[in-house]
A = this chain, B = another copy of it.
Amino acid sequence: MSSILHRGRSLATVRRLAGLAAFACVALAGCAGQEPPPPAVSAAPAAVPDAAALPSWQDGAARAAILKFVASVTRPGTSTYVPPEARIAVFDNDGTLWSEQPMPFQVLFMIDQVKNAAPHHPEWRRNPAFKALMAQDNAALARHSKELVQLLEAANSGMTTDQYDQSIRDWLANAKHPTLNRPYTDLVYQPQLELLSLLRANGFAIWIVSGGTAQFMRVWASKAYGIAPDHIIGTEEKLAYDTRGGKQVLIRKPGLDFVDDGAGKPVGIYRAIGRRPILAFGNSDGDREMLEYATSGPGPSLGLLLHHDNGAREFAYDRNAGSVRLDKAWDDAPARGWVVVSMKDDWKTVFPAPRPGSQ
């Protein structure tokens, strides 16, 4: 299914998928390798170089900036010391902790839910969006984005949260990425796993702050990242409290209560955490306000942006990549002191080695 969509030309359809209006929406054609010169990286050499830390990171300015920051906030008695309870790091998910091309994986899952539900909805055969989806007719899909959203909402709501969790697990156990040909949960970034470990070892609390939903991530994020269900902030779908079979449950409803993207991210962070983070890592303009918020507090802070400039190993997209483009945030980086991490130059490897039997 994704093969159709990533060949398309209009963003509008994907933008509105399932009402996840602000959810990371990738240029359907996307991924072209237009690469403007990166802004200067505002990193200084690490005060305390640690040869063993971040082994998948090249020994460059980005790694040095991270090590220097972690050392500076954990050294008691200095002016840059930050007590453990205030060491809060926030990470975007799609495109920052795992891949997001040809489009955010949650959207691919939601589309597959439509296909799975189709046998129970004979009436969909007359739905122009459904016909376009099955015929891989992307131009028609773009014309019928409203009907597509209705389809996605119908196929992704109405069940209990427990039932939906199970459908996410089932999908992840079987689905593979259309071009990288690996299970989606294999497409986490090895250098970021090392960064999470480094931060955790230095007393940081780590939170995901995503345009996707917490429900989609919670099913796999503990195993993939070591991040617990109560440390995931996301876009919030409507839920209704109800009784099914004599038990009290939560039922998924169409529509959104909160969009955790752009200026929504600081609000989501404040509501869930109640403190201003001191480290933020994103990869697109949807993360810009999160980085601003984290790096405009009174104490030391570090903002990081991952630049997808690596079509050979992953994908290459930035200013050209629709609504997940890295554009304004990239322009802001030098003046804000944000560190731009080049996937091509700063990472020795991108993905973990395939697990035996996972291919």
Do B241 and A271 have beta carbons less than 8 Å apart? Answer: no
Do A230 and B296 have beta carbons less than 8 Å apart? Answer: no
With contacts A293-B248, A296-B248 taken as known, whether A230 is within 8 angstroms of B274 at the C-beta atoms is yes
A112: Cβ under 8 A from any B Cβ: no
A289: Cβ under 8 A from any B Cβ: yes
Binding site for B on A (CB under 8 A): 85, 161, 205, 214-215, 218, 228-230, 232, 236, 239-241, 247-250, 257-258, 263-264, 266-267, 270-275, 289, 292-293, 296
Do B239 and A267 have beta carbons less than 8 Å apart? Answer: yes
Do A248 and B161 have beta carbons less than 8 Å apart? Answer: no
Determine the distance from Cα of A275 to Cα of B46 in the docked complex, in whole angstroms: 40
Q: Which residue of B has the minimal Cβ distance to A236?
A: B271
Do B296 and A247 have beta carbons less than 8 Å apart? Answer: yes
Do B273 and A230 have beta carbons less than 8 Å apart? Answer: yes
Do A292 and B257 have beta carbons less than 8 Å apart? Answer: no
With contacts A241-B293, A289-B248, A293-B241 taken as known, whether A229 is within 8 angstroms of B273 at the C-beta atoms is yes
Known A229-B275, A250-B267; 8 more pairs at CB < 8 Å? A85-B228, A218-B274, A230-B272, A230-B275, A239-B267, A239-B270, A250-B270, A272-B272
* 12 A–B pairs (Cβ distance < 8 Å), ordered by A: A218-B274, A229-B274, A229-B275, A230-B274, A236-B271, A239-B267, A239-B270, A239-B271, A241-B264, A247-B296, A248-B289, A248-B293
Chain B residues near A229 (CB, 8 Å)? 273-275
Q: Which residue of B has the minimal Cβ distance to A271?
A: B236
From B258, B270, B275, give the contact of A257 (CB < 8 A): B258
Minimum CB–CB distance for A239 against chain B, Å? 5
